[in-house]
Every structure is written in C-alpha cells, then in structure tokens.
Structure 1
Amino acid sequence: MTIFCLSAPQASAQTLAPAPEAPTGRTTKPFVTTTQDMVAAANPLAAQAGREILAAGGSAADAAVAVQLVLNLVEPQSSGIGGGAFMVFWDGTTMTTLDGREKAPAAAKPERFLGQDGKPMKFYDAVVGGRSVGVPGTVRLLEAAHKRWGKLPWKQVIEPAARLAEEGFTISPRLNGLLTQEKYLQNDPTARAYFYDADGKPKAVGTVLQNPAFARTLRTLAENGADAFYSGEIAGDIVTTVTGHATNPGDITLEDLKAYKVEERPAVCGPYRTYKICGMGPPSSGQIAVQQILGIIEGQDMASLKPGPEAAHWIAEAGRLAFADRALYVADPDFLSVPTKGLTDGGYIKSRAALIDPAKSMGKAKPGDPPFQKTFLWGASDGIEFGTSHMSIVDRNGNAVSMTTTIEDGFGARLMTKSGFLLNNELTDFSFAPLEDGKPVANRVEAGKRPRSSMAPTIVLDGNGKLYAVVGSPGGSLIINYVAKTLVGLLDWKLDPQVAVDLPNFGSRNGPTELEAGTEAEAWKAGLEAKGHEVKLIDQNSGIHAIVVTPGGLIGGADSRREGVAIGN
C-alpha cells in the first residue's frame, strides 16, 4: 500500500464551497478522501454537478459532460462549448484518447496572422474578433464520449447545467477579479450586457448571474444532440457572430461546422519507474514533452533529491530539451508525419539525457534527431493557450477521465453568441509566421488544420496495469511543467495529491528557468544561478487536479491557487 505524506487535516467529501481567495491567489486546502468515486474540477459548482451524476450511477464520461457544461457558466474565461478539448479515457483495459480540438476554417491561409507589412500581427490584434475563432469541437467530443461510455440518458447529464443557467449562480471572487482586469470583453455588446453593470463595472462578487440563452441552447442540445450545435439556429448564430465583427471578422461557414469530426488518436504511453504514463498525442505536444522530461530524469535518484534547486536543475534541463523538440516536430498529425515514436523512444531519450551537465545549465537547447522520422524541413514555432481548464474523474467502476478543455486566451476571442457562450481564439495557437529561415513552419495555419496544443491530460497505471492516478492542469505551455512536477511529486516523492499539486511550480520552456514567485522556490534561485541558469520569478497560477487510487479508496487534490475542489461519494 502506498504511504502518503499527509501535511493537512483530512477534509470531508461533502466540502463544496471554496474559502475566499487570499490576496496571493492561494488558499491552502486539505486533501479529500472518498470510497466510491471522485471528481476534481476548477469550480465547486462544476464538481458538484459531476458528483450528482456519479451518485445517480453515471459513468466518468457522464460526469465529464455535466462538469464541462457547468464550467461554461461558472468559469467562462477558461472553457466552454465555444472551444475544444482533449479527453483521455480508461475503461479498465483500454486507454482511449479523443481529439476535440478546434479546426481552422476552409478559407484559412498560412498568412492569416500577418499584417499589411508582412510581419506577424500583435497578439491581441489577432485575438480580439472573428479572425482567431476556430471551429469548436467540445460539443462533438462530449457527445462522442457519452455515446461510447455513458450510462445515463443524454438529457440527464445536461440537466445540472441547464438548471443552473436558468436559476443562476453567484459570481465568484476569481471571475470578478478576471473581469476587472479584462480590457477587451466590454467591446462586445452581448458580453457587456451579461458580465457588466450599466456603469461598465464588472458585476459584483455574489451577484446572481442567470443565462437563459445558454439554458435554451442546452435544452436544444438535450433534445436534438450535437447536430443542433453544428447546424441550424445555433450554428447560424456562431457564423453571424464570427463574420459580423466590425473590425476583425472571421470566415467560419455553416459548411465548416457541419464538417467537424472528433478524431480518436493513438494514446501516447511510456514507462516511468514502475508506472505507465498515458496521455494525448498530437496535435497536443503535452504528453510527448511530459514523457521526455520524465524519461530524461529517470536515471536520477529523484526520491533522494526532494524539492529544491538540485531537482529543479534536472527538471528544467529536461524541459529545455523537450521544448526544443516540441517546437520543431509537433503539429497536427493529419498534416504532417509527427515522429511520436521516435520522440518517446527510450534510446533517443537516453541520448538526450546525456546532454545534461549535473553542474551547469546548457542554456538554450537544440532539437534532437529522433529515429523513425521522415525528412523534416520545418522551421520551429510556438503556440500557447491561456484560457484553459481541467477535470479529473474516477467513477465507482474504476473508469477514469482526464480531460483538459480550453477557449485559448482568457475569455477567448471576446465574442459572445446570442446563444449564451463565448467563442474561442484557438487559431492564435498556430504560428503567426508561416515561414522561418525560408522553411515552412510545421504549426503554420492551414485550412482544416488543428493548432498545436500543450494540454496534457494524463492517466497513470501501476506496475500491474491498474489505475493509479489521474492528473492534469490548465496553464498554456506551462501545463507541461505543471504536470511533470506533479507526477514527480506523486511517484518519486510519494506525496499525497494535495501536497503534490500545491508544490511550487518550476521548470524551463527552453528559455529562462522559471520559478514560481511568492513561494519557497524563490530560495532556489541562488543555487540555480550558481549552475549558470538564467532564473526568472514569475506567477504560475496553475490549477492542477490529481486523484490517486489506493486500496482504501480515492485521494484527491485541487490546486490551492484556484477555487477548484475534489469531491465524491
């Protein structure tokens, strides 16, 4: 039996309401235990919806539908049916991954985000408006998962969100704070009327916010399925909203929406110690990079290092190597041959690990030359998402969902449909520059293409092939380091999930070594600088969720940096 380092008093599984966020954004939380099932999500109301479905005998997939639809209401800045998602599902024998990532419309061209001067547009000049909106995939993904693994009726799993949209919910401190900081959302009349008072100020904490338009949308989906989103009135509303923007219109058509399909992709799985780590493959770079980081540090005795500058050195150096490969090789596998097998090959990873000097940082890493690849002529690029959420779910039959879901930047494209939901700006996850040094960039914009992601929904199996942990996080390209850190905390340092997710965040994205400001990681700065690291202290407001399976039940943790909770039955 696993021994957990428990640093906080045990919480009741009934705990729902988060404590008010501290000025730092961190409110210490205890770990949670349950005996039958568990859901960890970014907001208490979303977690409660999932718990309600699990208590009614629903599966992890059923609960995921309920959680996502409530998140659309209570955490609209991060995800919703106007965006996309990746789901990893474990049914006790098979690991399946579903790709519900947004797609570029048929009219999209590689020069989409170049200005009149031929140079890449400024980020928010590209984001705000219809130009950045990709064809949403979340609704198709939810329906596909429910059809395959659901146990309860489709209408029943939609009901918690529809009811909440009609009755209303109170605005949380986090949502109010993000609205206060937001610069562009008020320019959209529909969003302004919904989120702001007549004087232009965000609606106050505790204000009951009702969304009858979204309730009607959900009732329509409950009656007619996902087809009602991709055709008919809702689809027409999406097209009108995207193409009707006054200064930055997009080009999504009804045909683009009708043509959208969810893709089942091969799960990316690899060993770490005695465990098997599985997650989403391309177009997500997340699991490839996580596995590279873990594979590179596997030769080190991480258990003896404990959190500190020495462990941070190894993980940051591994991150440099992983991010160098990510930038060059990973994009939509429907458009190029991604060498996933080579990037996760044990021999290749060992060769990359040999590049790390225990005493000195390598600075900026170069991409490697993995086996099993076709000739590559691509330039490197980057693409990140910020408006993201995650859920981890285990049902009473041992099925598990790890799902990361996004609308890209906070509040997406700052466009709200008359149907009651925000639209993504996912196309800005493509490289703005289609060429680098005269070579086409792998992650350039192309018609029908899915932009590269960093999302890393992860499921861990033990040495006997049994479910051990469900992990994931929001956070853009920082997701990769958040998930890798948490896995090291769980698997090497044997921490309980709450302590593991609350560890200071740290790592490198092949630039500076980044330490989480305001945490004990700041004390590691001098030790890392002595090894030649360029160190930056930055806010890293992760939002990780983790559930661990033990012989006695489930133990869950929800990142103390945000308002999420882990609850169950």
Structure 2
Amino acid sequence: MLNGRAVLVPAVLLASLSACTHSEQPADTTPPAPEASSGYTPKPGWAVDRFAVAAANPLATQAGYDVLKAGGSALDAAIAVQMVLTLVEPQSSGIGGGAFLLHWDGEELVALDGRETAPAAVDETLFLEPDGTPMAFQTAVVGGRSVGVPGTLKMLEKAHSQYGKLPWKDLLQPAITLAREGFAVSPRLHTLLQTDPSLRDNPPAAAFYYQPDGSPWPVGHRLHNPALAELLQAIAEGGSRAFYEGKNAYALVKQVNEHPTNPGRIALSDLTGYEPRQRDAICTLWQSSYQVCGFPPPSSGHITQMQILGILEHLGPLPALDQGVPSVDFLHRYSEASRLAYADRAKYLADPDFVPVPGRTWNSMLAPEYLRQRAGLIGPRSMGTAEPGEPGPVPVALGIQPEQPEYGTSHISIIDADGNALAMTTTIEQAFGARLLNDGGTGLPGGYLLNNELTDFAFEPRDSEGRPVANRVEPGKRPRSSMSPTLVFDAAGEQLLASVGSPGGAAIIHFTAKTLLGMYGWGLDAQRAINLPNFGSFNGPTVLEAGRFPPATPRALEVRGHEVNEMEMTSGLQAIQRTDDGWFGGADPRREGVVMGD
C-alpha cells in the first residue's frame, strides 16, 4: 500500500475552518492559450498487455518503448523520452528546464522535484520597472532575465540512481543518434516556429531553425543538431556534471548575463549548487473509491485540482454528459468550484521552503469540512470572482497574486512490465522558453533552449497594502507551477489504476481534472476522456474550447451570470489506465503524442 513518501488525506480531517465571501465583479482577463493550436488529429487509443509509454512525439515514445523492450525500468524509459523531446519538441521541454516526477515502485510513492530555482543574485524587484510597475510579460520573458537554474537533468540522474536498471549512458543514445543523423521537422514544430514572434531575434536560433529568408524549415526537413549531440555525449559519459560544470555551464552563464537587451543574473555557483528535492506526494480520497496522488507545492496542480473535484462532490451527483459533452449544469458547477479553488491558489500556494503553510499542513486546503463550506457558496448564478477562504491559520498576512500568463510543458506517462509507474511533467515554460538557443560551449550549430521559468513568479511582489505575495521572487526559491503529474490508485492505495498529465500552463489543472472526471465520473476510456472538450475558469470568465460545444451552451451559461470566452485550449494529455486485460493508453488529438507498448 502507499507509504513512505505519500501523505494521505483522510476521509475526515478536523480543523478550525472558516467560510468566506465572494464579490460579484467578474475578472476582465482570461489567460492566453499556452501554446498555439496546430490541428486536431483523432487518435484511436491503444490497448496493451504488459507495459506502455505515452509521450508527446512519436520519436520520443519510440525511444521509451525501445528501452522497456530492452529490459529497462519505467524511469529508464523516461530518461530516454526526455532526451529525445529536448531535440524534437524543443518548444515545450528539455534539459534547459525543469520537471516534476511522481514515481511508484510497487510499494513506495515518491515525488522528485526538479523545478528550476531563482539565482542567488535576484530579489523580489526582478520584474519591476524603475518606477515600480511590473514589466510587460513578453518583455520579461525574452532574454536572460527570466532564466532559472535548470533542474531536469540532475533530478533524472538522482532518480536513475534509485530506480534505474540500464546504464545511464545507454539511455541517452537514442537522442544522440537522432541529433547526429537528423530528424524530420514535425507539423507542430513547424507551426510554432512559424508563429513565434521572438525566436528569430536570437541569432543562433535564427540560423538553426529558420531558412535564410526567415521562414521556418518545412515539415519533413531533416534537421541535424550537432551541438546537442556533442553535449549529450558528454553527459552520457560524465553524468550531469558535464551540464552543470565546464564548457556548458560557462556558455549558459555567459549567454544569460550578457544578453544585449535583457540580461539575467545567474552564476556558476547557482548551477553547481542546484539540488533536486524529494518531497511527500499528496494522496486524496475521491468519490470514496480512489486515491488520487499528485505533487505538493511548489506545484499548485494537485491541491487546486482536488479542491475543484472535492467541491463538486459536495454539490451532489455528477451531472451526466449531454450528447457526449459536459452539460450546462455541470459546467456551471465546475466553473464555480474552479473560481473558489483558483482564489485559494492565488493566495496560499508557493514554494513551501519560503512560505507558511495554512494550518501547518497542505491537507487543510483539502479537508472535507473546508470544501463543504466552500461548496456552500455556490448558488444558481455565477459568483463572478471568488475570494480566498481560510483553510487554517497563517502566521503572516499574505497578499493575493494577480492573474498573469502561464505557458506550456510536456507530459510523460509510463508503466513498465514490473509494475513500476511514473507521471512526469516537464517544461521550459513558454513556447521556446527565453528564446535563447545554447550550444553548450561546443561552437557547433544547434543546442538546447533555455527556460523562462522565473516568469512563473509573481511580477508584483506585494499587494496594494504592502502584504507579501507568497509566490514573489526570492533567491533560491522555486516558482509556483501548475504541473499536475497524477497517479490514481484504488481506495486502499494498493493497486495502481492510472497515470495522467498534460501541458497547458494554468489550464493543466483543468485538463487533468477533466480526464479524471471522464474516466472515473462518466465511465469513459482514457482516449475518450482526453477527447472531451476542454473547459474551466481561472477565477474570471468561464472558458470553453472553441468549436466544441453546442451554440446553446454559452448562451445558457450567460443566462446564469457567466461571462463566457470561447478560445483555443490546446491540451496535450497523456493517460494510461488499468483494464481487465492489461492497460489502455490515450494521447491528445490536439498534439502529436502517441502511446506504444506490448
């Protein structure tokens, strides 16, 4: 059963809990789509007997599959997948970014935190103009200012020492070979290169990803990456030290700190001093039948997701689908529950090494009595904008973080033949990160992209009354994330039932919650649950995936007081669920992912 590194939320948690009020004024903004749409390609779903790999690109999935066929563990396969994604899906994740890994070895559930950290030289004014106003978001993103200390590689190396079976160097070979021999530019990569407004401004990236006339390489063009091949070969032979020290470290620091218009403040000591963290996963009893396990802060994913689902439980039976899509009754309830959960998120959730925890336990935010009180605030009309609740005492008065954009990621779900399983969500934040292509000090074309993860911190460190925002910038701190790698178990925590996750910025929470509702609320298989239209609220307008709901749906919601925005909601869900005969995998038709297994 679940033990060791998992913290279970019991069916009843007694605490001193207070109700809250809400205002009637809706927010006037909706977060932008994390990554551009590149089409919708129906996926069949994949049934397998013993093991499965689900990843965002067929070449990456193939690498993971080959590792499992060779006797590797789920963790071994994840390493191979991530290295290939660095090459073939550079807009979303890579060794220049960070990741959250939830791992199950059949007895113990472990949460490994490879999130980027803020350099030692930054402070809470990092994203403020000289007059004290916050920088424009895109101005902050592009350049060295937004780059956090990458954590993915060192976290995976640590995980490999615990759960790996095959040699480390063998797991990097698929990516090294593809980088040397070249890979075909995919339709999604081509589309994002074409539409990105800033990548061409970085000379190395412009020379590598674009033709002389400024147009991106066409779909199918064979792209070689000799710089990444050489760097990965050094990492294969020397471990993560080849990234965090030596030529690559010097090249990274130089590129960040000497950016001509927006320099950063990273130091070699930030790189050598980076350490991944092992944290306690949070497992929450849902519908009295499932232990849904996810990542604790600095991720806001699990707590916000399970607040939404927990509040819905207190509103009565789940409304059935209406002609195959969520009904107006459901969407009203879900959006209101989301407003309440995102209000709490904006006030309380941040790196626990730097902020107080309400009631001294994150479980206070998931306590049934607290969620029952929050559910009691939901009426027949939309509340517009919710206020945060009081899940437990906090020793300092916290300000509320204003809404600001959050961007993309990639997700990997793997289950091996021995029953080891993982859910790993990995990111460089916005598409193409800080728009800095680093050659690792090789002097060769290509390389990897650096993250812009520091823009996940609050730009405004204090509210109008001077109260500190929990997610403000501080040296060594990890920015709040929405990444929601999720493993689902039976109520006793003994049998693994599913691995789920998605990219999508702040909407990751909604995408993952939707899939759980589809599988375990509406009885759909993983693929049909992923296919459902996307929806949600970020404590502002109710958002619906454009073109996926009947025209009557937004009108009916508006009658109930909702401000409705229809927009692209480009999820990238991956899910693997247990069946009577083995496993069934699904991949999002909105992106290029596939599932492979035997």
Question: Normalising TM by the smaller chain, what interval?
Answer: over 0.9
Question: 1:293 is matched with which residue?
Answer: 308
Distance in 1, matches of 2:38 and 2:251, equals 39
Which of 513, 524, 529 pairs up with 1:495? 524
1:224 aligns with 2:251: no
Mapped contact 2:65–2:596 kept (Cα < 8 A)? yes
Trace 1:519-558 onto structure 2 (pairs within 5 A).
519-520=548-549, 522-558=551-587
Which of 275, 279, 282 pairs up with 2:294? 279
Aligned residue type for 1:296: I
SS of aligned partner of 2:337: helix
The Cα shift of 1:117 comes to: 2.3
Distance in 1, matches of 2:512 and 2:138, equals 28
Trace 1:268-347 onto structure 2 (pairs within 5 A).
268-273=282-287, 274-299=289-314, 300-302=316-318, 304=320, 307-339=326-358, 340-347=362-369
Distance in 2, matches of 1:448 and 1:40, equals 33
Question: 1:423 is matched with which residue?
Answer: 450
The Cα shift of 1:23 comes to: 8.8
The Cα shift of 1:303 comes to: 5.8
Trace 1:48-67 onto structure 2 (pairs within 5 A).
48-67=62-81
Aligned residue type for 1:311: F
Distance in 2, matches of 1:290 and 1:345, equals 14
SS of aligned partner of 1:27: coil
The Cα shift of 1:521 comes to: 5.5
The Cα shift of 1:371 comes to: 2.3
Question: 1:17 is matched with which residue?
Answer: none
Distance in 2, matches of 1:109 and 1:304, equals 49
SS of aligned partner of 2:575: strand
Distance in 2, matches of 1:24 and 1:233, equals 36
1:385 aligns with 2:406: yes
Question: 2:371 is matched with which residue?
Answer: 349
The Cα shift of 1:376 comes to: 3.3
1:365 aligns with 2:418: no
Total equivalences in the alignment:
547
The Cα shift of 1:309 comes to: 1.1
Distance in 1, matches of 2:107 and 2:328, equals 39
Q: Percent of aligned pairs with the same residue?
A: 54
1:203 aligns with 2:220: no
Question: 1:440 is matched with which residue?
Answer: 468
Question: 1:15 is matched with which residue?
Answer: none
Distance in 1, matches of 2:306 and 2:150, equals 28
Deviation per residue, 1:352-400 (Å, 9 max, x gap): 111111x211111110000264443333344553131111111111111
Distance in 2, matches of 1:100 and 1:120, equals 28
Q: How has the CA–CA distance of structure 1 residues 429 and 23 changed in structure 2, closer, same or farther, with 3 Å as cutoff?
A: closer
Which of 126, 130, 147 pairs up with 1:133? 147
Query: More displaced, 336-345 or 213-222?
Result: 336-345
Deviation per residue, 1:194-229 (Å, 9 max, x gap): 101112111111000010110111111111111221
SS of aligned partner of 2:410: strand
Q: How has the CA–CA distance of structure 1 residues 557 and 430 changed in structure 2, closer, same or farther, with 3 Å as cutoff?
A: same
Which of 477, 487, 490 pairs up with 1:449? 477
Mapped contact 2:285–2:491 kept (Cα < 8 A)? no
The Cα shift of 1:118 comes to: 1.7
Distance in 2, matches of 1:514 and 1:341, equals 28
Question: 1:16 is matched with which residue?
Answer: none
Aligned residue type for 1:366: E
1:461 aligns with 2:482: no
Distance in 1, matches of 2:242 and 2:39, equals 39
SS of aligned partner of 2:356: coil
Mapped contact 2:536–2:542 kept (Cα < 8 A)? yes
The Cα shift of 1:522 comes to: 4.8
1:47 aligns with 2:65: no
Distance in 1, matches of 2:109 and 2:429, equals 26
The Cα shift of 1:305 comes to: 5.3
Query: More displaced, 378-387 or 61-70?
Result: 378-387
Which of 185, 188, 193 pairs up with 1:171? 185
Distance in 1, matches of 2:320 and 2:526, equals 19
Q: Any stretches of 5+ residues in structure 1 without a counterpart?
A: 1-21
The Cα shift of 1:551 comes to: 2.6
1:84 aligns with 2:98: yes
Query: More displaced, 384-393 or 36-45?
Result: 384-393
Q: Any stretches of 5+ residues in structure 2 without a counterpart?
A: 1-35, 441-446
Aligned residue type for 2:55: A
The Cα shift of 1:524 comes to: 1.6
Mapped contact 1:430–1:443 kept (Cα < 8 A)? yes
Task: Compute the TM-score of the two structures, normalised by the length of structure 1.
Answer: 0.94
Distance in 2, matches of 1:178 and 1:91, equals 37
